[in-house]
Each structure stands twice: as structure tokens, then as C-alpha cells.
Structure 1
Amino acid sequence: MSDKILVINAGSSSIKFQLFNILSSKPEFQILAKGLVERIGIKDSRVSIELIQNNSFIKYDKQIDVQDHAFGAKLIIEQLQLYSVISNFDEIVGIGHRLVHGGEKFKTSTIINQAAENAIIKSVSLAPLHNPAALKGYNAFKALNPKIKHVAVFDTSFHMTLPEEKYLYSTPYQWYQKYQVRKYGFHGISYRYILEKLAAILKKDEKKINAVVCHLGNGASICAIKDGQSFNTTMGLTPLDGLIMGTRSGVVDPSIHQYICEITKNTSDAQTIASVTDILNKESGLLGISGVSSDIRDVTAAKEDENHPKHHLASLAIKMFCQRIANYIIQYSNDLDNKVDALVFTAGIGENGVLIRKWVLEEIKILSLKLNSKANEEKYDDYVLISDLSSVFPIYKIRTNEEIIICHDTYELLNKK
């Protein structure tokens, strides 16, 4: 019976999970099951599990009252046992957790001991929406089986190589010294996977790869990878900075906060710094501009339908979204001295957005980037070269896999001698 590694991504009201078999000491990993406990502490909560059978997944789900993360963790183990994926908890030798923010403390993944847990708790002020949820997930599984070792894998770690002039803001330097105000960047686990994949595709040493990678999902960012390291990225102190996203504004004039608070202070719609920040996080971006949805598919459909009542605003949202991406691609190509081995589109929109990739590249006038239309529309499981031979550098769509990176780091740290 093989040892197994469980990968956990806990949100404020959800726990995503994947279970991997360790096949050899190379190591090689085989996914056995994946699933989601959602709407934790909310009405109509449910659990779903997908089991690998004949190279495809069979899904089972049920509605069940999940009052907290502790019950959600228990439910995941019960589901894995119910469907005979594991016979008992002891088959799981390690649990890897996705942590959004590690601050400057964590430059690599780490085994979670008391010192690491204390440091993660200290960084909660940097990621108040994300790190507390991850800690809830960690504590829930730790309580179920205190013997199992846990590993934290941070989205920010990959970006700890940013040069000083890229990560500092033009604010008082004391803010950085006293309060750690700087650009941290996110989606680093995804960028690590794409870098490894590119090295294999291009048959090139990771340390020599220069690439512009667009991680485009409901949350979106871009990274300039120079000599195999993060050199620049769009997200900042928090994931609110940079690109227009599903509900996040991306970069805006910071004076907007004071202006909105001042102009609404004597109205029934009076705002505070906290409420404006909440709106910029949850009611802006594609949703805020279009008034249609935070889902790019819905906004694209409204753009393509001239009779849709929000056709103009949906078209405007898509135009702004694509222009912002295009501008960063140009900027980051310059950061890489225009010596770019590849432009990569990944994550939900980047991997599946045929029209978005086309529209983004149409916004780039200064670089001769050419799509192969047939390849751009091609279905795939892993990666596809989607550029024409005349393109100034190759363009790929690559499916990211953050969970396998977390699994690998967990294995490596648990077996470190």
C-alpha cells in the first residue's frame, strides 16, 4: 500500500483538496481523488469528490450541513474512506497547504512547526482574507491526526527574488522598514510550475529561461521571469494591485479612497476606508465595469451580443481588461531586454480564453506577436504552441498545476535528510 500526500487549499468558506499516491522515490505522483467542501458555515453547504477511474474523473456530491472547517476536514477524510481511496488516515504521510502570503520571512516552503505557525500568524495583517482561512485548514487537519507532518507552500516565495527597485514603492522608506510595505506578488506556485514546464518544452536550463507568464483567472497577474527567477510581477502588497480581475479593480489612483469617503460622508451611502477597499476587492473589475458578471464568459457573451442591454459596458470591460494585459506584456518584455523565450497564457482564462488571447495580442502594436488561429482554438490537456512561425517569440497556452508543486514540496521536505 503506497504512502499518500494530501494537498489542501482552504478558503474562508471552502476547502479544496487533492490526494496523491507516491509511486517511486524519483518521486512520481499519481492523483487519486480531488474535491471540494464549499459554503462552510453557510446555508446549502455541500461536499463533492471526484475519483480517478480509467484516466477520467467520476464525481459524487451531496448537500450536508458543514458548520466549520474542523467538520469540513473530518468530512474529507470520511469521503476518502467511504469511496475506498484510503483505508485509514495513517496512509497519508504528509499534508501540504497553500498559503497565499509568507511575507519576507518565508523564501521557500517550510514544515509547519510552532515557530512557523507563529510567523504565519504574524503575517495575517498582510493577508487578512487568506492566511486565517489557511490556518483554519491546518488546525482542522492537525486536530484530526496530530502525528502527521504539515508543509506550508507560499504563493509569495517565488517573488522573493524581485530586485529592490521592483519591489519597493515610492512611499517613505521607513514604511518598508517598519511595516513591510512592499510588493510581494502572488500566484508564485503557478509560476513555478510553468517555469518547470517551459524548461522541459524548450529543453533549456530553468536558470536560463526568460519568459512573460500571464496567469489569468478570476484573480489575475503577470510575471516577468528573468534567468529562471521572478524579476517583476503585477500584484503588490496585496492581490488587489495590477490587472483588472473578476471583481478586483487592479491598479487605481489611491486617492480614490479619500475622495469616495469625503463625497459620501453626509449621505445614506457613507463609505469608510475599509468599505471602499472591500468594494475594490469584491465589486469592481469586470463585474464593476460591465454590470454583467465577474465571469469572463458571461461578459464576453454580452460583448458579442449587440442586443444585450449591457453590450456596450461589457465591450468596454473586455477592452480595458485586454489592454491592461497587453501593456504589461510590453513592459515586461522590455524588463527582459526583449530576450523572451516564450509568452505563456495559463490559469482558467489564460488556458481557455480563445478570444481573450486573440484580443490581447491585437492590443500589442510594438511587438510582432502572431497567433496561429487553428492552434489557438485547439483542445488540449497539457500545452500547445499557439504562435505563428513569424511571431517574434513563441506563444504557448499551458495548463498550470499548483497542486503538484505543493505535493512535490511536501514530499521533499518530509524526506529531507
Structure 2
Amino acid sequence: MTTSGPRRVLVVNAGSSSLKYQLVDPDTGVSDATGLVERIGLPAGRVRHTCASGTHTHETTVPDHVRAMAVLREAFAQHGPDLSEVELVAVGHRVVHGGADFSEPTVVTPAVVDAVRRLVPLAPLHNPGNLQGIEVAQRTFPDVPQVAVFDTAFHQTMPAAASTYAVPRAWREQYRVRRYGFHGTSHAYVSRRVADLLGRPLEEVATIVLHLGNGASATAVDGGRSVDTSMGLTPLEGLVMGTRPGDVDPGLPRHLAEVAGLSVEDYDRALSKESGLVGLTGSADMRDVEERFEAGDPDARLAFDVVVHRLLHYVGAYAAILGRLDAIAFTAGIGEHSPLVRAAVVERLAGFGVRLDAAANESAHGEAVISTPDSSVTVLVVPTNEEWEIARQASAVVDALP
């Protein structure tokens, strides 16, 4: 593979049955191509590759991740850009759980693979697929550095007071029970963009980032460092999500075991797949909930109010933890596209001098300030770009190699 072309990072997000990818300029964030190989292991796999020539889709048999990576190579060869004409400086892998072992992006070595494998019990639905993606990419691109970028890494700066559960010592030490947090690449990217948009050094800015999508989390970021976040040992804790409840009483499993005969598996499935918005309304899509809310549906109204109440709970707590607050940033699908949610949160903060610009909020598209000039806190919409963040971090790691 030639090294005379433009510098690029191939960002890979491998799941148990899918392989997402994007070819990214790590310096500008410009994407040359994006793609998705899905239904891996099922009879009819689907492939989508989007590049300068358009979006190309087809069905094919994809029995495993080895074939999925071959399909990726074929898509670039057929539709472009030609990977032989770029300087592929790294393959950057999204890895969901790095535990307490990884606080920075890391060049993949056999020791790193072993460590990620040991962390599978903390992320059984994600880390195995991430590992498969790494192992296949190593064989496919043997001369290109592979870099693991961990969702949890950004939150390793949390103080012990924020990351520690008040549970028995054996749980904490032997079973690594603590708060880890997730969506770290998104929170890192958005908090840095906030500082850029404010025209201030990152080290001086205190921000609350609200990553609101089907999965949702809030993070208090002080000077570019995560000091608290709403997700914990798993992505179940914190805010109300599409199918996950966020915070619930720890006594709930015993209660449901006694009154409903729920097993651990039943309980875990219900909290992962049947709770949150879908548990309250039957739909996991906030767009559906908002339509029903505005039509007067009582279930949708309750769900909307619960979502906003939980958001306010975390915003207030994190403002107190930070001790000062320069910015609140909304990001991800709901955060970027729901003026209704943003207005419901910001308007409730009026007593603290936070002022919403209603017109700016309604018309916000892309990066936008939605607070008034006299607001005590700048409120922004900042579309997240996790792929660029992964590419940027992977490139920086490779550039620092001796």
C-alpha cells in the first residue's frame, strides 16, 4: 500500500452482527467513504457503501467477520476511493469497554487483545464483536498500525468520589465493580468543539454535555476532563433511553423476583430491551413520542416529562459538582434534532439565569448557539463526530510512535 497519497484513518466499529466503517481525514474530519456490512452470520447479508460516486447497496452472504472485511475491501475497490492511493496511517477501532486498564487510545498488541478479552464480562454484548473486528483487520491490513479507542477511556479522569460505588470491598477489588461511563469519544469531541466555538482554551471551560440518542448520557467536563458521567458499570445507569430505564432502585431485582418470579436473565432483558421510552409508551423513538405528546397522549406526556425531569436532575447535580458552568451542549440524535426536548430543559433553568433563544432553538441546524447573549450559560447544539474523534486519536498515537 503506497504512502504517497493523503493521510487517512480507517475507522472500524465491529459489532456481533455488523461492521461499520469510515475512511476519515484525521486532520479535517472529512470523510471519503462510509459503509455498513450488516446481518453478519445470517442468510442474507446487506452492504451499503457511500462515497463520491453515490450510495451503493447490495445483498450477499456474509457468514463471519472475515468475509465482512473482505466485503469492505471489495467495496473500496469497486466504488472508491482506492485504498492503494491513500496513506493509511492507522485502523482505528471503537472498543466499548476498556475498564480501568485503558485511559488513552492504545496501539493494539497481543497484550492489549488479551486485556480486552478479560474485560468481556463487563461488556458481553460489545467487546467480543470489537475483538473480532480487531483480529480480522490485523490480518487484512498487516502493515498498518491498529489502534483501539475506548468508549470508557475519557472517563478515567473521574475522581474516585465519582467512580466509586459504596459496595463491599471484594466487589470493588475482585470483580472491578465501579462506575466507568460510556460515549467517551462523543463527550471528548463535543466538549472540545464547545471550547472552540466559545473561542476559549479548553482548559478554562466547564461544560455539561448531553449525549441524547437511543442511548443517552450526561457528562460534566472541567477543562477537557470528565469529572462525572451518568452511565456506570454498564450503559443502563443514568438518563432515560430508548429501551433502557436509566436509574432504578437497586432493590428492584429482589422485589420482582419475589412478586413476579423474574430470573436474572428476565430482569436484564427487561432493563436492556423493554424499558425506557418503549416501556413507557411502546415506542423507542422520541420522534413518535413527541408526536403523541403534542396530540395529547397521556403516556407520551408522562414519558416526555420523565425524560426531562431526569435530564434536569443531572444538569443540576453536575452544575454543583463543577462549581461553575460555562456551557451546556446538546448532541446525538435527540439532542441535535429535538427543539422540544432542548426547550423543555433550558426553559426550566431560567431561574439560574439561563436564557433560551426560542427562534435559534427552532431553526438550529448543525452547530448553533441557542441561548441569548445575556444568558448566564451558553447553550449550544453540537453534532457529534465520533468517527473523527477516533481517527484523530488514532493518528496522534501513531504519530507519537518512535
Q: TM-score, structure 2 length as denominator?
A: 0.94
C-alpha distance in 1 between matches for 2:350 and 2:274: 31
Task: Look up the match of 2:47.
Answer: 47
CA deviation digits over 1:59-105, x for unaligned, max 9? 22122232222211111111011013115498534210011110111
Shift of 1:226: 1.6
CA deviation digits over 1:33-74, x for unaligned, max 9? 011112222354311111136xxxx32212223222221111
C-alpha distance in 2 between matches for 1:243 and 1:190: 16
Q: Do 1:36 and 1:49's aligned partners in 2 also have CA atoms closer than 8 Å? A: yes
**2:43 aligned with 1:69, yes or no?**
no
One-letter code aligned to 2:39: R
Residue 343 of structure 1 is aligned with which of 328, 337, 346?
328
**2:318 aligned with 1:332, yes or no?**
yes
Shift of 1:379: 4.3
Task: Look up the match of 1:278.
Answer: 269
Structure 1 range deviating more: 272-281 or 106-115: 272-281
**Aligned-partner SS, 1:48:** strand
Shift of 1:129: 1.1
Q: Do 1:258 and 1:273's aligned partners in 2 also have CA atoms closer than 8 Å? A: no
Task: Look up the match of 1:226.
Answer: 222
**Aligned-partner SS, 2:137:** helix
One-letter code aligned to 1:354: P
**Aligned-partner SS, 2:329:** strand
Q: Do 2:335 and 2:342's aligned partners in 1 also have CA atoms closer than 8 Å? A: yes
Task: Look up the match of 2:396.
Answer: 412
C-alpha distance in 1 between matches for 2:375 and 2:86: 52
Superposition map of 1:132-211 within 5 A? 132-211=128-207
One-letter code aligned to 1:241: E
Q: TM-score, structure 1 length as denominator?
A: 0.91
Residue 378 of structure 1 is aligned with which of 348, 363, 385?
363
Q: How many residues align?
A: 397
Task: Look up the match of 2:33.
Answer: 33
C-alpha distance in 1 between matches for 2:137 and 2:45: 19
Task: Look up the match of 2:287.
Answer: 297
Task: Look up the match of 1:128.
Answer: 124
Q: Do 2:194 and 2:329's aligned partners in 1 also have CA atoms closer than 8 Å? A: no
**Aligned-partner SS, 1:77:** helix
**Aligned-partner SS, 1:343:** strand
C-alpha distance in 1 between matches for 2:360 and 2:39: 38
Gaps of 5+ in 1: 266-270
Shift of 1:368: 3.0
One-letter code aligned to 1:6: L
One-letter code aligned to 2:227: F
Gaps of 5+ in 2: none
**Aligned-partner SS, 2:30:** strand
Task: Look up the match of 1:268.
Answer: none
CA deviation digits over 1:185-226, x for unaligned, max 9? 111101111122122112222112111110111000000112
C-alpha distance in 1 between matches for 2:42 and 2:345: 38
Q: Do 1:77 and 1:89's aligned partners in 2 also have CA atoms closer than 8 Å? A: no
C-alpha distance in 1 between matches for 2:372 and 2:349: 15
CA deviation digits over 1:382-414, x for unaligned, max 9? x11000234221100001111111111211222
C-alpha distance in 2 between matches for 1:75 and 1:122: 29
C-alpha distance in 2 between matches for 1:242 and 1:89: 45
Shift of 1:122: 0.8
One-letter code aligned to 1:385: V
Residue 212 of structure 1 is aligned with which of 205, 208, 222?
208
Superposition map of 1:236-315 within 5 A? 236-265=232-261, 271-291=262-282, 293-306=283-296, 311-315=297-301
**2:23 aligned with 1:19, yes or no?**
yes
Cα RMSD, aligned residues only = 1.8
Task: Look up the match of 1:388.
Answer: 372
C-alpha distance in 1 between matches for 2:335 and 2:209: 10
Structure 1 range deviating more: 91-100 or 106-115: 91-100
Residue 385 of structure 2 is aligned with which of 401, 409, 414?
401
Shift of 1:148: 2.4
C-alpha distance in 2 between matches for 1:336 and 1:52: 44
C-alpha distance in 2 between matches for 1:379 and 1:256: 40
Q: Do 1:31 and 1:52's aligned partners in 2 also have CA atoms closer than 8 Å? A: no
Shift of 1:7: 0.1
C-alpha distance in 1 between matches for 2:311 and 2:204: 25
Task: Look up the match of 2:76.
Answer: 80
Residue 92 of structure 2 is aligned with which of 92, 96, 104?
96
Q: Do 1:322 and 1:363's aligned partners in 2 also have CA atoms closer than 8 Å? A: no
**Aligned-partner SS, 1:250:** coil
One-letter code aligned to 2:294: E
Q: Do 2:163 and 2:180's aligned partners in 1 also have CA atoms closer than 8 Å? A: yes
Task: Look up the match of 2:8.
Answer: 4
Q: Do 2:93 and 2:134's aligned partners in 1 also have CA atoms closer than 8 Å? A: yes
C-alpha distance in 2 between matches for 1:66 and 1:360: 44
C-alpha distance in 2 between matches for 1:399 and 1:346: 5
Shift of 1:252: 0.5
Structure 1 range deviating more: 342-351 or 44-53: 44-53
Structure 1 range deviating more: 126-135 or 68-77: 68-77
Shift of 1:365: 6.2
C-alpha distance in 1 between matches for 2:351 and 2:58: 52
C-alpha distance in 2 between matches for 1:357 and 1:43: 42
C-alpha distance in 1 between matches for 2:365 and 2:94: 26
- Which of structures 1 and 2 has the larger relative contact order (alpha carbons within 8 angstroms, sep 6+)? 2
**Aligned-partner SS, 1:254:** coil
